[in-house]
Structure 1
């Protein structure tokens, strides 16, 4: 397992993260097996959100581990808030953030979160309110560090201007088959669809400001349109190239898809949302793979992207 320091913190984090969005699909014993497998592979970072299973996923996680202080100190727990899924709108008000964190802590059976992320940008956000919420959570010892998810550079700047604490994480969608955060920079100033800037150069911004990026849905294409691995109907060339490179390194296609993201110099954490221990183990084998520059670009082009 690869590890690196997380932004401006004292946290040493695994490059792979166990995403807990689908724990609701598992029994307690199955969830325990998955989580234990992750820990055995060296994963020390676990990603939650209050909307995952409407909180049930956090409860399952704590119950599966029989959460206690000694176990809690061995892991880094991150959760997200800000989406009111039942009402279908976003809420980054001070009241909602504080109430959400109390619920998260209760369900995870812990006194504190290592990191709290704002799940989606709220057009009605009042940065000073967020600042008050963060300051209270930090002073009470409920949250150590803060970050965002799916935010643009300008949205981060707007928040950061008011915040007493540095935003250290931005969680974004990224996979071999979903690369808008890379595409426009590669084809800058060309009159092609790929050159349209859909992300406001978020990768460069985060690198310049020492904000750790986390990639969600690393094996999906589009917005939950399904996995691209094994999809030889829509991605025949991509799967052929990945399989060829996987054979060279004696790993599975899952490991190569993971290694492709890890190869980026931004130190991007990869969030694994699988519920299958064997798939988790396959992804963890990426730690023994460092793709060459040529291989990285071969995969990128096979996904349908141009390199001018």
Structure 2
């Protein structure tokens, strides 16, 4: 699969990441087949979080892939921490970050993470503590690269004031139908603008600072309201996507991911499917480059308005 550099690091990663949030929906033979297929098609970047399945998803993945030193050197592992469902809060304290990473490593049966992301901004964050945690994790060899998730420019800048490691990734909700970070860029100083700048121009910020955007829920509309592909709520969009898919001889799933990959920000969509055929369809998007006209046609078909 085509690769990109993750942020400003030297780490080469596939342009499609395999999200493992739903791997606990598979039985053991299914999970084994899924991860082996992913490896066979070059999708060796596996994305986790300590809260997925209450931690069980990381355990299931490690067992399914048969974690060993030889296996570990063939894969790239990313996980996230900072959400505490048991307490109903977010927690970026040094103690919690360090304890969370130890738990992640134990469940994944590995000695290190390639990437650790801070999940959901903690408004009580003390960036000095985050910096101490990152330094300790880096020096111990437990984490090699660091990033964030769902953060706006000022939140990242606050961390960057204290954290010496580069922020290599920012995981953000983005899809054809959830594209306000793109839409707001068209409506500069416009009365009755079609989109409101709610994120501080995070798209441009990440491009300026070499932070890879990892779109999550790339097929969803709203906040987990459903998938737009095949939905009667988006007839014009589906008609256009199907038309483009027919031109390239691929599925609508492939085109939905190709739309994200066409953006010059060099994004890395996180795919949450546990269906092998859909995973293959997503990976095929790495070989397709939509034209500028096709990209804008799909954008407008989703109801996005150009000024």
Q: State the TM-score, normalizing by the size of structure 2.
A: 0.98
1:194-245, Cα deviation, whole Å (9 max, x unpaired): 23101110010010001111010000011101100000x2100000000000
Whole-angstrom distance in 2 between the partners of 1:114 and 1:289: 28
1:187–1:306: 8 Å Cα contact kept in structure 2?
no
Please name the residue that 1:255 is paired with. 254
Secondary structure of the residue that 1:42 maps to in structure 2? coil
Structure 1, unmatched stretches of 5+, are: none
Contact 1:189 1:195 in 2 (8 A): no
| Post-superposition offset of 1:193 | 4.7
- Tell me what 2:211 maps to: 211
1:195 is paired with a residue whose SS is coil
Q: What does residue 115 of structure 1 align with?
A: 115
Whether the aligned pair in 1 keeps the contact of 2:16 and 2:286 (CA below 8 Å) is no
Cα distance, 1:266 vs. partner?
0.5
- CA drift at 1:67: 0.2
Q: Is the 8 A contact 2:46 2:76 kept in 1?
A: yes
The 8 Å contact of residues 180 and 195 in structure 2, kept in 1 or not, is answered as no
SS at match of 1:224: coil
Alpha-carbon distance in 2 for matches of 1:62, 1:223: 29
Q: Counterparts of 1:6 and 1:195 in 2: how far apart (Å)?
A: 29
Q: Specify every segment of 5 or more residues in structure 2 that has no aligned partner in the other structure, as ranges.
A: none
Residue matched to 1:102: 102
* Aligned-partner SS, 2:56: helix
The answer for the alignment partner of 2:26 in structure 1 is: 26
* Correspondence 1:148-167 to 2 at 5 A: 148-167=148-167
Question: Quick check: 1:296 aligned with 2:283?
Answer: no
Is the 8 Å Cα contact of residues 118 and 148 (structure 1) preserved in structure 2?
yes
Aligned ranges for residues 1-308 of structure 1 at < 5 Å?
1-231=1-231, 233-308=232-307
Instruction: Please give the root-mean-square deviation of Cα atoms over the aligned residues, in Å.
Output: 0.9
Is the Cα–Cα contact under 8 Å of residues 171 and 215 in structure 1 kept in the other structure?
yes
Q: Which range is displaced more, 151-160 or 31-40?
A: 31-40
- Cα distance in 2, alignment partners of residues 275 and 141 from structure 1: 31
1:112, 1:144 within 8 Å by CA — same for their partners in 2? Answer: yes
Q: 1:154-204, CA deviations, whole angstroms, 9 ceiling, x for partnerless residues?
A: 000001100121111100000001001101101222223523101110010
2: CA distance, partners of 1:197 / 1:256:
27
Q: Deviations over 1:114-155 (max 9, x none)?
A: 010000110000000001111111111100010000000000
Do 1:84 and 1:91's aligned partners in 2 also have CA atoms closer than 8 Å?
Answer: yes
8 Å Cα contact 1:48-1:78 kept in structure 2: yes
How big is the shift at 1:288?
Answer: 2.4
Structure 2: distance between partners of 1:9 and 1:228: 34
Structure 1 residue 86: Cα displacement: 2.1
Q: Distance in 2 between matches of 1:239 and 1:86?
A: 40
Deviations along 1:68-117, one digit per CA (max 9) or x if unpaired, are 01100111100000000122210000000000000000000000000100
Q: How many residues align?
A: 307
Which deviates more from structure 2 when the two are superposed, residues 117-126 or residues 285-294?
285-294
State the TM-score, normalizing by the size of structure 1: 0.98
The Cα offsets for residues 230-267 of structure 1, whole Å up to 9 and x where unpaired, read as 00x21000000000000000000000000000000010
Q: CA–CA distance in 2 between the matches of 1:85 and 1:5?
A: 33
Once residues 180 and 31 of structure 2 are traced to their aligned partners in structure 1, the CA distance between those partners, rounded to angstroms, is 33
